[in-house]
Amino acid sequence: MSDALACHSCDLLVHVGTLRHGDSASCPRCGCFLTRYRADAYLRILAFASAGLIFLILANSYPFLSFSSSGLESVITLRETPGALWTNDMPGVALLVTTFIIIIPAAILVLMLVLSIPLNQGLYHPWLAPVAKSIFFAQKWSMVEVFIIGVIVALVKIAAMATVVVGASFWAYAAFAICFTAAVANLDRYQCWQRIEALGAA
Amino acid sequence: MTARTTAANSGLASCHVCFKLAPTAVHRCPRCGATMHLRKNDSLQRTLALLVTACLLYIPANLYPIMYTEQLGSTEASTIMGGVILLIELGSLPIAMVIFVFSVIVPSGKLMTMFYLVWTVERHSPLGARQRSMMYRITEFIGKWSMVDVFVVSILVALVHLGGLLVIRPGIAALSFAGVVIVTMIAAESFDSRLIWDNIEEKNSEN
């Protein structure tokens, strides 16, 4: 029974068996993706999560976008992007945007480092389960890639009005988005929990 | 008809956090400590309630302006659809399509899909379960992409404030639209797609 998995989309019992590096399993009844095994998954997560955190720090250290027309210029940083909503009587939306584009993604990357180091080295800690739980809970609320599209749309919208310059912080944020997506893609929920359980039993 | 073995008819429940299988009598997951349920609690009622909430929020989100552009003393308000039309007039058709798809098609399509899924499960329909499963997964995946317009407003408001020359302010629709996106995401989350397949199990056991 140890290799059985109930499809979370249709509840069919699937015997996954032993997967080799790169193999993935889908539900034969509803087609839902179930799991993918990568021997070096935790090493990849470690690499992408640490690179992502460095890019996020860079993204917060330089100007994000600048906008100028008729001799007047306005420069904003990443943190000021939702901040202006706060001063425009929309603190709720400002908090939501900050949470979705900075706080949750940053927290996920930090937690991923905390999780992947012991999983990669084969060490068990009782806090592994709560850390993994928090990551899987927070995952669907990170909107890094959506924000990138938002920036591009905003740029096109105002490009006709004035001169817009993209700052170093934007490129750092784009690199952060790529690293973040790659780190999340390498964390397989089923494999991660199997690994935590195996380490706990040993 | 060959009966397939599901976790439920083997007397097992699957943990929704870590996928651990445990007998249905167990209430706390032995692996991750989450509360175990055979199916999500009151799935249909919760989903339906959240969908109705989202529909109500969707009305002001479309009727009120999402942002105001103040240019040299004159203020111009634009709604979500108004923004799309403006972009078409400016000649940026691809960007207009992006906004139209994410802010108009996706939220309304998502609401209709979720209502349809709740309705078919309520009617115990066994038809097209695979397609409905697929619809649900797409709905769940695409949900957060509707936030694009809220992010666009957030960026424009921060960036465009050049004294009295040109200022962009957020409108109340930004708040209600963010509400629509978040509430529909929670609605999709509270829907249990296994209910779609339970109807097929029922039909099989009747035969």
- Out of B32, B153, B197, the one facing A133 most closely (by C-beta) is B32
pLDDT at residue B207, as a whole number: 59
Please calculate the CA angle B58-B63-B68 and round it to the nearest 5 degrees.
115
For residue B22, the cross-strand partners are B13
In chain B, which residue ranges form alpha helices assigned H by DSSP? 43-63, 80-90, 93-100, 106-122, 129-142, 148-159, 172-190, 194-206
**pLDDT tens digits, one per residue of B158-167:** 988 877 788 8
Which chain A residues are Cβ-neighbours of B92 within 8 angstroms? 156-157
Instruction: Please tell me the least confidently modeled range out of A23-37, A108-122, A153-167.
Output: A153-167
Q: Does B197 touch chain A (CB under 8 A)?
A: yes
Mean pLDDT of B177-199: 93
**Whether pLDDT at B2 is above 90:** no
Q: Are strands A72-76 and A33-36 parallel, antiparallel or unpaired?
A: unpaired
- Whether chain B has a CB inside 8 Å of the CB on A12: the answer is yes
Number of domains composing chain A: 2
Q: Find the closest chain A residue to B172 by CA distance.
A: A90
**A99 and A131 belong to one structural domain:** yes
Find the CATH number of the domain harbouring A162.
1.20.140
For residues A151 and B103, what is the distance between their CA atoms, to the nearest angstrom?
A: 15
CB-nearest partner of A136 from B4, B17, B152: B17
Interface of A with B in 174-193 (CB under 8 A): 189-190, 193
pLDDT of residue A2: 56
Q: How confident is the model at residue A124 (pLDDT cuts 50, 70, 90)?
A: very high
Same domain, yes or no: B60 and B29 = no
Question: Do residue B161 and residue B86 come from a single domain?
Answer: yes
Domain residue limits at B34: 1-38
Least confident stretch, A98-107, A157-166, B102-111, B134-143: A157-166
CB B132 within 8 A of CB B196: yes
* pLDDT tens readout for residues B62-75: 999 999 988 888 88
Task: State the residue for tokens 């203020």.
Answer: B75
Q: Which two tokens mark A73? A: 């210029």
Q: Which sign, positive or negative, has the C-alpha torsion B27, B30, B34, B36? A: negative
CA–CA dist B185, B51 (Å, integer): 10
User: Do residues B100 and B32 both lie within one domain?
Assistant: no
Query: Does A70 share its domain with A45?
Result: yes
The answer, for A94 touching chain B at a CB cutoff of 8 Å, is yes
Mode of pairing for the β-strands spanning A72-76 and A65-69:
antiparallel
Residue B192 touches partner A, C-beta closer than 8 Å: no
What's residue B153's pLDDT? Answer: 92
Counting one residue from chain A and one from chain B, the pairs whose CB atoms sit within 8 A come to: 200
**Any A CB within 8 A of B147 CB:** yes
Residues of chain A with pLDDT > 70, as a percent, come to 99
**Is A162's Cβ below 8 Å from some Cβ in B?**
yes
Regarding whether A27 and A115 lie in a shared domain, the answer is no
The CA distance from A37 to the nearest CA of chain B, in Å, is: 16
pLDDT at B146: 92
Question: What is residue B206's predicted lDDT score, i.e. its pLDDT?
Answer: 67
- Classified as helix, coil or strand, A126 is coil
A130 with A50, same domain?
A: yes
Q: Please list every residue in chain A whose beta carbon sits closer than 8 Å to the beta carbon of residue B156.
A: 154, 157-158
Measured in angstroms, the CA of A47 and the nearest CA of chain B are apart by 24
Q: How far is A155 from chain B (nearest CA, A)?
A: 9
pLDDT 10s digits, A13-45 = 988 888 889 899 999 988 899 999 999 999 999
pLDDT at A158: 84
State which amino acid sits at residue B173.
A
3-state secondary structure B50-85: HHHHHHHHHHHHHHCCCEEEEECCEEEEECHHHHHH
DSSP conformation class of A35? E
Residues A56 and A74 in one domain: yes
Report which of A113, A118, A115, A110 is spatially closest to residue A130, judged by C-alpha positions: A115
Two tokens, residue A182? 């790659």
Q: Chain A residue with minimal CA distance to B164? A: A72
Q: What domain range is A21 assigned to?
A: 1-37
The answer to whether the Cβ–Cβ distance between B10 and A13 falls below 8 Å is yes
Looking at the structure, tell me whether residues A7 and A46 fall in a common domain: no
Residue of A nearest to B95 (CA): A153
Are B30 and B48 members of one domain?
Answer: no
Candidates B14, B34, B148; nearest CB to A146 = B148
> Are residues A113 and A27 part of one domain?
no
- What percent of chain A is modeled with pLDDT above 90? 67
Reported confidence tier of residue A157, pLDDT bands at 50, 70, 90:
confident
pLDDT at A126 over 50: yes
Q: Are residues B159 and B98 in the same domain?
A: yes
Question: Interior CA angle at B97 toward B93 and B103, to 5°?
Answer: 140
Does one domain contain both A84 and A1?
no
Tell me the CA distances in angstroms from A181 to A36, A91, A187, one per residue in order. 16, 28, 10
> Contacts of residue B99 in chain A, CB cutoff 8 Å?
153
Give the C-alpha separation, A12 to B10, whole Å. Answer: 10
The total domain count for chain B is 2
pLDDT of residue A1: 41
* pLDDT exceeds cutoff 90 at B109: yes
Same domain, A11 and A50: no
What are the structure tokens assigned to B194, written together? 């296994």
Q: For B5-51, write each residue's pLDDT tens digit.
A: 888 888 899 998 888 898 888 889 988 888 888 888 899 999 999 99
Statement to judge: residues B33 and B46 lie in one domain: no
Q: Are residues A70 and A30 in the same domain?
A: no
Q: How would you classify the pairing of strands B12-14 and A163-166? A: unpaired
> Could you tell me if B185 lies within 8 Å of chain A, comparing CB atoms?
yes
| pLDDT higher than threshold 90 for residue B94 | no
Distance from CA of B45 to the nearest CA of A (A): 19
Residues B68 and B155 in one domain: yes
Note whether B94 and B131 are same-domain residues. Answer: yes
- Quickly state the pLDDT bin for B1 (edges 50, 70, 90): very low
Same domain, A109 and A176: yes
